[in-house]
Structure 1
Amino acid sequence: MSATGSYPVYGATGLIGYTDSYAHNGESILIVKDGSGVGSLSYVNDHFSVIGTLNYLTPKEKYSSLYLYYALMAFNFTPYITGMAIPHIYFKDYGKAKLFCPSIEKQIRIASLLHNIEQKLVVEQNLITSLNAQKSYLLRMLFI
């Protein structure tokens, strides 16, 4: 793993580096399975690799990865956590849980709507950051 490879490598904290080869390709849901961030999710759609602290889920046909990602964002992993010092979750346990999945068409519509809302939130958060920076600048200029 290096900083100059072509393919991202993900770990519990997100993107941790790059490599010259990849282990997986396509849409997947990454789930932190060990440590303090256990149950945290990420969505990827490209060539990628993961390290041992992550599980990756690739849904079967007739299921939208993005819909399942948003459904799992509301999923409570707490009952599936084991381990005292270092918490763990295992797919063999939470993989038996049931999620509501409407028709693939509705899954795609719901996921698209939620994705658009998420993108709007990112834009608004960036705007707030920019406005706070502008406010700080103007306040500094006021007291010069």
Structure 2
Amino acid sequence: MKGLAEHLTAFTPNTKIADCLNCHSSILQENQVKNEGKYKVYGANGICGYNDSPAILEDAILIVKDGSGVGNVSYASGEYSVIGTSNYLTAKSGYSLKYLYFCLMIFNFVPYRTGMAIPHIYFKDYGKALIPCPSLNRQKQIATLLSKIECKIETEKTITESYLQQKRFLLKSMFI
């Protein structure tokens, strides 16, 4: 997926990340998250729990800003919250959030890491980096294509996992 995203976004970098995305922070801590609830709470490795009320009401790019997963990028939709080790980024007017997600998916955050014991990245630093931003119409075309491929990949992963579960069941049944 990353290779295809690199190919389809291989335009000359011309726009600062901070010019097309707004950065938001959370103060929610992992110990404040519940095991059950109506709304998902995302952490560094995906869903880490639930809450009864969402902090975020729109689609956003989630980026891990602290710890071993620093620079990991994901996309969240709907109503949800994030814990404080992540920032959530929203698109400014004239930019496709999904396109920017694919750009950040392949972005190299390593030069922007600071901290020895606990690595960090700061939006004020990587926000100055240039990324390729064609016209909004072209951004939407690329994002739509990559989203369809990403969805197909997830479907194939689900099918593969189902086959693996069937295999484990059958092998277990054979050797009881």
Residue in structure 2 matching 1:38, options 49, 67, 70: 70
Q: Specify the alignment match of 2:89 in structure 1.
A: 57
Q: Specify the alignment match of 2:42 in structure 1.
A: 10
TM-score (structure 2 length as normaliser) = 0.74
Q: Output the CA distance in 1 between the equivalents of 2:69 and 2:117.
A: 13
**Secondary structure class of the residue paired with 1:46:** coil
Question: Where does the alignment leave 5 or more consecutive residues of structure 2 unmatched?
Answer: 1-32
1:130, distance to aligned residue in structure 2 (A): 3.0
**Secondary structure class of the residue paired with 1:56:** strand
Is the aligned partner of 1:75 residue 2:85? no
Q: Output the CA distance in 2 between the equivalents of 1:47 and 1:131.
A: 32
Q: Output the CA distance in 1 between the equivalents of 2:159 and 2:37.
A: 32
**Pair 138,14 (structure 1): closer, same or farther in 2 beyond 3 Å:** closer
Question: Where does the alignment leave 5 or more consecutive residues of structure 1 unmatched?
Answer: none
Q: Output the CA distance in 1 between the equivalents of 2:163 and 2:124.
A: 47
- 2:40 corresponds to which letter in structure 1? P
Q: Output the CA distance in 1 between the equivalents of 2:157 and 2:133.
A: 30
Q: Specify the alignment match of 1:118 in structure 2.
A: 150
For CA contacts below 8 A with separation 6 or more, give which structure has more relative contact order.
2
TM-score (structure 1 length as normaliser) = 0.89
**Pair 23,133 (structure 1): closer, same or farther in 2 beyond 3 Å:** closer
Q: Deviations over 1:19-49 (max 9, x none)?
A: 1222221111010001110000111121222
Residue in structure 1 matching 2:132, options 93, 96, 100: 100
Q: Which moved more, 1:133-142 or 1:35-44?
A: 133-142
Q: Specify the alignment match of 1:85 in structure 2.
A: 117
Identical residues among aligned pairs (%): 57
Matched residues, number: 144
Q: Output the CA distance in 2 between the equivalents of 1:5 and 1:137.
A: 32
**Pair 126,7 (structure 1): closer, same or farther in 2 beyond 3 Å:** closer
1:141, distance to aligned residue in structure 2 (A): 6.5
CA RMSD between the two structures: 1.9
